[in-house]
Structure 1
Amino acid sequence: MKQSILKVHPNDNVLVALRDLQADEIVKYEDVLYKVTEFIPAKHKFAINTLPAGANVIMYGVLVGKTQSEIPAGGLLSTKNIKHAASGFLTGEKHLNWKQPDVSNWKDKTFNGFHRADGSVGTANYWLVIPMVFCENRNVEVLQEALVKPLGYGRKKVYETQAQQLINMVKNGVSVDEVLFTEIETGTDGEKSPKVFPNVDGIKFLTHEGGCGGIRQDSVALCGLLAGYITHPNVAGATVLSLGCQNAQVSILQEEIAKRDPNFSKPLYVIDQQKTGKESVMLEQALRQTLAGLIQANQNERKPAPLNKITIGLECGGSDGFSGISANPAIGYTSDLLVALGGSVILAEFPELCGVEQNLIDRCVDESKAERFTNLIRTYAQRAEEAGSGFDMNPSPGNIKDGLITDAIKSAGAAKKGGTSPVVDVLDYPEKVTKPGLNLLCTPGNDVESTTAEVGSGANVVLFTTGLGTPTGNPIVPVVKIATNTSLYNRMSDIMDVNTGTIIEGEETIQQAGERILDYVIKVASGEVEVAAVSHGQDDFIPWKRGVSL
């Protein structure tokens, strides 16, 4: 029989509704009966016992809020009766007796990837066109228009056909109502043209709004991020457009590339517009050099590689009340499996670690890592408060509507993505992952900024959980969309890849789902499965300017 409620941790004083519960309904969990006093929507929480005003609210075994008024046993927790609260943290005792999961089923498995000179292995093979400054965005877009379809990377979309039908109706003088309601052919997406370079997955154009103005630290950080993409194992080489006078100088980019790959040998073409003169001369040079680079990139072919060459970025967005009990713990188990196999994982989104800092501090392998994490997260929180905000303002309206009513509730569930393995390194944006194991990376909670950063730090696959539905992708790395509930998976099937609603429905355990996801990751990394974000061309890229972004 399907379970109606769930107690996430033995010490919790709240229960989670796995379906809508009606007022006065009696539900059972582990042979104990509970009566709810009001309507409890699915994904929301209710009190196990009466909680007086000022009482601690415990979920995931940690403090997630304080009651603002009395909540009767069986009463709904809401933004009206509880407020965010989280425990303090200190650099403390380490708990590193990690019990590794059994990985015998994967120890001899490999994936087919693109081997690079620095020893890294890509899950894809792309060429990049990058501007050093926003002034060059238009030239990048001109190159994109000139190259994408002729090289076989474009696809005629069904929406173009639909738009043409509607435009023809307008030309024929139809009414507003006819445009709004007349049935038109839906059609299907057109097939891609044959690729000129079959071993190159695509040519990607990364426009941005940085590189000049602002503060110099922003430009240095941008150069570090761009260097992370250029040296990324999924990238064969790059064409870089520079105006010449911007803060983000090419020399800074070259320094950042050298930090990440001292023996950098990929083809890299840098064009300075103020030196070349006429735009036509610059663009012709860029076209010639890009095509020359693509010829070199096409010489790469997929070959077997050990699973320890996979680096997974962990992300969540459009979270709901099931995120922390289905999808996030599932990919947490996937993370533990990969770490046990010698791979790397990245847990980011520092505003969404509020309330679980002590757990992560205790898992750091040494004092220096614990101190760096403490300093980074405290500094970030302080800057948010100075700007008149704070981590407690992180949950979005969608989060709150679906039961994540305090930042600590959201964070405790979000942190489950990191599994249980030791923290081997703590990185500040946009530093590169260099150690196998669980890495903490300082980024905002913003989906695209954080995903952009994780890829810049070396993630060659991203696992992205969502309970409400979000299309976020990345230009060079497959972003696997994991639904927390079956309703979402079915409703938005065109952008979802994996369903973990099976956990909520009792069809499989967290461990079984985590194992299934690892098998899926291997197929994605080998190019056997194209995830929805890639097939839709969802190329989201937003550099973080180190301001207050929650």
Structure 2
Amino acid sequence: MPTTSTTQTLIHLRAVDDVAIAGTDLSAGTDVAVAGTSVVLRDDVPRGHKVAVHPIAAGAEVRRYGQVIGFGGRDIAPGEHVHLHNLEYREFERRYEFSVDAAPQQLVPEAQRRTFEGYVRSDGKVGTRNYLGVLTSVNCSATAAKLIAQQMRFSGVLDDFPNVDGVVALTHGTGCGMAPDGEGIDTLRRVMRGYLTHPNFAGFLVLGLGCEDNQIVKLTEDVALREGLPITTATIQELGGTTKTVREGVGRLTELLPEVDAVRRTTVPASELILGTNCGGSDSYSGITANPALGAAVDLLAAQGGTGIVGETPEIYGTEHMLVRRAATREVGEKLLAKIDWWRDYTAKNGGSMDNNPSPGNKAGGLTTILEKSLGAVAKGGTTTLTDVVDYGAPVTTPGFVFMDTPGYDPVSVTGIVAGGANVVCFTTGRGSAFGCSPVPSLKLATNTPLYQHMSEDMDINCGGVIDGEISVEALGEQIFDHVLRVASGEHTQSEDLGYGEEEFVPWHIGTVM
């Protein structure tokens, strides 16, 4: 738990930290108590921003969370605002100590195992929702797919099938104008197969144009789909145009409704949960409230035999040395470092650096460097052993804490995590991201109380109570875990009720647009 000054709201996380965090907007000249001493603010300091607690020399390491977040760009005096104008990003040497903090997962006794109500599919996977999907092979069939889903929703045909959660149109901007083989199209097909086998779907129409690089027949080559899963395929060129395609698509999906509606929820163990995590619109409080509380929930799920996924490789950069300490084996740790090396090379080839992240919103919220942002983001993974590192969109089959290689961009990241099998997602935000990820329910966790109150119709959980002194990180983690179980059993999230989720299906496009 952070310690808070008795005179002003300054949050000093570790005794070795060179900075403390403002809990409210503070004015220059304010006398604040922090780290056992009194400091007079030399500048106005916005809420969530950093204050130097003692002199920092130019070029010296600057620590927060007990870890390096940057280097003094010049001499910094006590009480000075520490941000973009005087804190610099630099590369620094990390010590990689493989698996020194790894330990076998201790599962809770059988009698204490939690459960939820889910849909058990023929392959043993468990869904938290029961959807029909329209999956496009190429951007050219996107409009027709959306029209099919809209007609299904608004025609009233779903009213007689209350156990069907709806029809989701999964459209994207690629599928052609790309190499017919190689990393780019392989990644797209891996994501599409992940959705085709996702337990939150009970049936599919896969729709193409007909002449695209990403031919529908290639999706199922050498890949076993779920036994008994009704999948129908078609192309616009084959069916004779858009109008005929929409009519045919609606007809085929309507025929599937009785079969899909017949499925019922049953009681299953919490070990069947695969919880995807993501942070977007992060602020300085993300690493103090929502992210560590979500990490505590991941720890609880892992103790039940379940799985928690963390992605966003560019947003754990600078913390990889901490993660390899928790790697179950050296091989797992080496896989993570290989992903970091790929991203270094990838950003350099495109004329950037890993510090191109944080975003303008992150910086306005008090985050200065990628090192600082990463230390908050990695907290979503809790404290348990890192059991595996997987490629983007690859099936997650190892329980416990798993890392998936994804970009930091929220829709692309979560699309990969859902393709990997996540059946619930928790999304933390400090600035106020608008997000959902159909067919998977997504809980929104606000890092601070003002945001929760300001965007109450978008947020599911207020994590600001940690800063307000109302709840501990551990207790909040238990509340998040309980809420996840309720949502997995059918309770709706705010983003579901608002209709978010379809536009956020964004497979990672790798490679040249031809």
For the pair 1:395 / 2:400, whether they are aligned, the reply is: no
Q: 2:187 corresponds to which residue?
A: 221
Show the 5 A alignment for 1:324-339. 324-339=287-302
SS at 2:160 equivalent = coil
Q: 1:200 corresponds to which residue?
A: 164
Q: 2:79 corresponds to which residue?
A: 74
Q: 2:458 corresponds to which residue?
A: 495
Residue among 84, 93, 105 paired with 2:89: 84
For the pair 1:409 / 2:414, whether they are aligned, the reply is: no
SS at 1:464 equivalent = strand
Show the 5 A alignment for 1:81-230. 81-89=86-94, 91-98=96-103, 107-151=112-156, 195-215=159-179, 216=181, 217-230=183-196
Question: 1:226 deviation in Å?
Answer: 1.2
The one-letter amino acid of 2:162's match is P
The one-letter amino acid of 1:416's match is A
**Cα pair distance change 1:314/1:106, threshold 3 Å:** farther
The one-letter amino acid of 1:320's match is D
SS at 2:334 equivalent = helix
Question: 1:354 deviation in Å?
Answer: 1.2
How many pairs align? 503
**Cα pair distance change 1:315/1:105, threshold 3 Å:** farther
Q: 1:187 corresponds to which residue?
A: none
Residue among 197, 222, 241 paired with 1:231: 197
Q: 1:445 corresponds to which residue?
A: 408
Question: 1:284 deviation in Å?
Answer: 3.7
Unaligned runs of 5+ in 2: 1-5
Residue among 186, 194, 217 paired with 1:251: 217
In the TM superposition, what whole-angstrom CA distance separates every residue of 1:419-478 from its partner, at most 9, and x where no partner exists? 111111111112110110111111111111111111111111111001110111012011
**Cα pair distance change 1:256/1:308, threshold 3 Å:** farther
Structure 1 CA distance for aligned equivalents of residues 348 and 358 of structure 2: 16
Single out whichever of 298-307 and 9-18 deviates more from structure 2.
9-18
**Cα pair distance change 1:422/1:97, threshold 3 Å:** closer
Any conservation in 2 of the 1:91–1:374 contact (CA below 8 Å)?
Answer: no
Question: 1:57 deviation in Å?
Answer: 0.8
Any conservation in 1 of the 2:98–2:327 contact (CA below 8 Å)?
Answer: no
Question: 1:277 deviation in Å?
Answer: 4.0
SS at 1:148 equivalent = helix
Q: 2:3 corresponds to which residue?
A: none
Show the 5 A alignment for 1:469-488. 469-488=432-451
Residue among 497, 513, 519 paired with 2:476: 513
Structure 2 CA distance for aligned equivalents of residues 110 and 43 of structure 1: 38
Show the 5 A alignment for 1:37-76. 37-76=42-81
Q: 1:424 corresponds to which residue?
A: 387
Name the TM-score, length of structure 1 as normaliser: 0.87
Structure 2 CA distance for aligned equivalents of residues 425 and 144 of structure 1: 37
Structure 2 CA distance for aligned equivalents of residues 533 and 203 of structure 1: 16
Question: 1:25 deviation in Å?
Answer: 2.4
Compute the RMSD of aligned alpha carbons: 2.1
Unaligned runs of 5+ in 1: 154-194
Q: 2:25 corresponds to which residue?
A: 20
Any conservation in 2 of the 1:3–1:506 contact (CA below 8 Å)?
Answer: no
Q: 1:352 corresponds to which residue?
A: 315
Question: 1:85 deviation in Å?
Answer: 3.0
Any conservation in 2 of the 1:91–1:371 contact (CA below 8 Å)?
Answer: no
In the TM superposition, what whole-angstrom CA distance separates every residue of 1:285-331 from its partner, at most 9, and x where no partner exists? 32232112222111111111100111111111111111110000100
Any conservation in 2 of the 1:345–1:438 contact (CA below 8 Å)?
Answer: yes
Question: 1:207 deviation in Å?
Answer: 1.4
In the TM superposition, what whole-angstrom CA distance separates every residue of 1:51-103 from its partner, at most 9, and x where no partner exists? 11111111112211111111101211111111113543465331235497895
Q: 2:232 corresponds to which residue?
A: 269
Any conservation in 2 of the 1:315–1:464 contact (CA below 8 Å)?
Answer: yes
SS at 2:154 equivalent = coil
The one-letter amino acid of 2:377's match is A
Any conservation in 2 of the 1:101–1:336 contact (CA below 8 Å)?
Answer: no
**Cα pair distance change 1:106/1:221, threshold 3 Å:** farther
SS at 1:314 equivalent = strand
For the pair 1:467 / 2:472, whether they are aligned, the reply is: no
The one-letter amino acid of 1:226's match is M
Q: 1:7 corresponds to which residue?
A: 12
The one-letter amino acid of 2:441's match is P
Structure 2 CA distance for aligned equivalents of residues 85 and 535 of structure 1: 44
**Cα pair distance change 1:101/1:48, threshold 3 Å:** farther
Question: 1:214 deviation in Å?
Answer: 2.5
Identity %: 36
In the TM superposition, what whole-angstrom CA distance separates every residue of 1:210-251 from its partner, at most 9, and x where no partner exists? 111123432221121111111111111110112222111223
For the pair 1:310 / 2:315, whether they are aligned, the reply is: no
